[in-house]
Chains A and B, each alone.
Chain A
Amino acid sequence: MSENESADPQLENFILAETQKQRFQVLVHGLTDTCWDTCMGRPSTRLDSKTEVCIMNCVERFIDATTFITKRLMNTTKYRSDSPLEFQ
């Protein structure tokens, strides 16, 4: 493929949008897994409000924890992306 031949914009947009949607879905699968283990007791005829609140808090706090970890890791010079990882 020559360099000045550009990608089909319609397909490119389609792939970008689908990739983003799929990234979201993958995260929802993972979060449901984690929060189910954290919040779910014996399954009954409906999700009770206590479990619902637990799941909502679980999602929010998981995101907070990820953000916290990301920030802390970025502030630690040991883990700078320009140097190889070192475990001590």
Chain B
Amino acid sequence: MDTLSTGSLSGAQKEELMDQVKQQIAIANAQELLTKMSEKCFKKCISKPGTSLDNSEQKCIAMCMDRYMDAWNLVSRTYSSRIQRERNM
């Protein structure tokens, strides 16, 4: 790995850099989630696109988003306990 030339950074500058990195990562993850949710919930809820997003489609999308989040969290928990289990083996 290339070394970082950061010898001249002050403590406060380092904190700022780390905060920026964290923020960028959070944005990237939110974008990924947005892309997946749009793709999945469009497929589930809009079979025949009409002239507007009607009420039942909106309700379906809202529910789908919540379930996608549930699924995401469940996958995250399951995967993380699997990692934990394999580490203890």
Contact = CB atoms under 8 A, between A and B. Distances in A.
Nearest to B17: A11
A13 to B, nearest CB: 10
Contacts of A55: 71, 74-75, 78
B58 to A, nearest CB: 13
B79 A31 contact: yes
A33 interface: yes
A32 B22 CA distance: 23
Tier of interface size on chain A = 35 or more
Given A8-B9, A29-B36, A40 B4 contact: no
Interface of B: 3-7, 9, 14, 17-18, 21-22, 25, 29, 32-33, 36, 40-41, 44-45, 60, 63-64, 66-68, 70-72, 74-76, 78-80, 82
